[in-house]
Amino acid sequence: MNILIIGGAGMIGRKLAERLARDGRLGEQAITGLTLYDVVEGAVLAGARVPVRLRTGDLPAPGEAARLVADRPHIIFHLAAIVSGEAEQDFDKGYRINLDGTRALLEAVRQAGYVPRLVFASSIAVFGAPFPEAIGDEFFSTPLTSYGTQKAICELLVSDYTRKGFLDGVSLRLPTICVRPGAPNKAASGFFSNIIREPLAGKEAVLPVADSVMHWHASPRAAVEFMRHAATLDTAAVGPRRALTMPGLAVTVAEQIGALRKVAGDKVAARIRREPDPFVEKIVAGWPRAFDARRALALGFRPDGSFEEIVRIHVEDELGGRIE
C-alpha cells in the first residue's frame, strides 16, 4: 500500500506519518511507501519501518498535483490548508490554497484514471449560526467565514467526484485540535491550545475571549485515529453523504482552565492573562459549540474521554510527562 500525506509537515500530518511509519501497516495491509508533501520539507521520521519520501511544492501550481499522484497512491490524506484566521485576512491566498489546491488534486486523480481512497480534513467551520443546541449531520451548511466556505465547497467536490466514481472520498469535519504542540499559528482558534500549552511550558498565555465560550475539541491523538479509521472504513456504510462530523468534547473555556488546574495546579493556571480581542471574538461568535456525532460514532470513530485527558495527552506526548 502506497500512502500520500498532503500537509505532511503540519502537526496532524507529522503525527499521522509517525504512527504509520512506526506501525508499517494500515488496517490489514502493509505499507510499501509513504510520501510526505508540503510547502516546506517535513522532518525525517526516525525508526520508520517503511520507505519515506519527503517532497515539497505548491499544490495549486499547474501540473503539480498530476506529478504528485503519478505513482498512484492507494491512500491520500489531504490535510493541507491555510488556517481560519489567515484565510479570513488574506482572501486570495485562502481560496488559492484551500479551494484551488483541492480542486487540482481531485482533477489530477480523475485524469490519472484510478480510484484511491481520499481522506479530506474538513472542519466544523462549515456550519454557521444560528445553531441548535447540538448540531447533527443533517444540519445545513451555512459557514460564516471564508475558511468555512472553502471547506464546505471542498466537501461538495469530494462527494461529487466520489459519486462519479473518480475516487472514494470521505470528508472529516474535525473538531478544533487541542492541545496543538509547537509555536502559536494564525488560526483564530489558536488560543484554545495556547491557554493550555503555554502555561504548562512555564509561559504566560493570552485569553482573547470570555470564559463562557464553549467549543468542540479533540486531541491530536484522537485526530490521528480519525484519519487512520477513515482510510480503512467500509464506505458502503457511509453512503452518499460523504462528510462526517467527528466526535469531540463540548467544553467551555472555564472548563478547559479547570482541567488545566486539576492536572497542573493553581500556579500554572494563573499564567493565563485575559485580554479581549474583538476580531477573534467576532469570528468565534459564529462558530458552533456542540454536536450530535451519532453517524461517526456508529461508524466506529471514537472521541477523547474528557478534557482533562486531553491535557494529560499533551503532557505525555509533548512534555515527556514534565510540567514547568
The catalytic residue among 37, 95, 147, 161 is: 147
Round the average pLDDT of the chain to a whole number and report it.
94
Most confident of 98-102, 179-183, 320-324: 98-102
Helix (H, G, I), strand (E, B) or coil at 22: helix
Distance CA 242, CA 126 (A): 14
- Looking at residue 246, the DSSP 8-state letter turns out to be P
The predicted-structure confidence for 177-229, as pLDDT tens digits, reads as follows: 999 998 777 777 889 999 999 999 999 999 999 999 999 999 999 999 999 99
220-244 burial, b at 16+ Cβ within 10 Å, e below that, comes to: bbbbbbbbbbbbebeeeebeeebbb
Q: Among 77, 65, 71, 67, which residue's Cα sits nearest to residue 7?
A: 77
Architecture of the domain spanning 2-175+219-245: 3-Layer(aba) Sandwich (3.40)
Overall average pLDDT of the 150-168 stretch: 98
What is this structure's pTM?
Answer: 0.94
Residue of higher predicted confidence among 136 and 84: 136
Distance CA 51, CA 164 (A): 33
Distance CA 239, CA 169 (A): 11
Q: For residue 31, what is its C-alpha cell?
A: 505499507
- Label residue 85 by pLDDT band (50, 70, 90): confident
Query: Where is average pLDDT lowest: 19-33, 150-164, 216-230, 273-287?
Result: 273-287
Quick one: pLDDT at residue 254? 98
List the chain domain ranges. 2-175+219-245
Query: Where is average pLDDT lowest: 136-150, 160-174, 277-291?
Result: 277-291
Distance CA 251, CA 157 (A): 32
Query: Where is average pLDDT lowest: 18-27, 67-76, 279-288?
Result: 279-288
310-323 burial, b at 16+ Cβ within 10 Å, e below that, comes to: bbbbbbeebeeeee
Overall average pLDDT of the 22-40 stretch: 96
Quick one: pLDDT at residue 28? 93
Q: How far is CA 5 from CA 32, 78, 132, 152, 225, in A?
A: 14, 6, 35, 21, 15
The predicted-structure confidence for 60-74, as pLDDT tens digits, reads as follows: 999 999 999 999 999
Answer yes or no: 37 catalytic. Answer: no
The predicted-structure confidence for 221-261, as pLDDT tens digits, reads as follows: 999 999 999 999 999 999 999 999 999 999 999 999 999 99
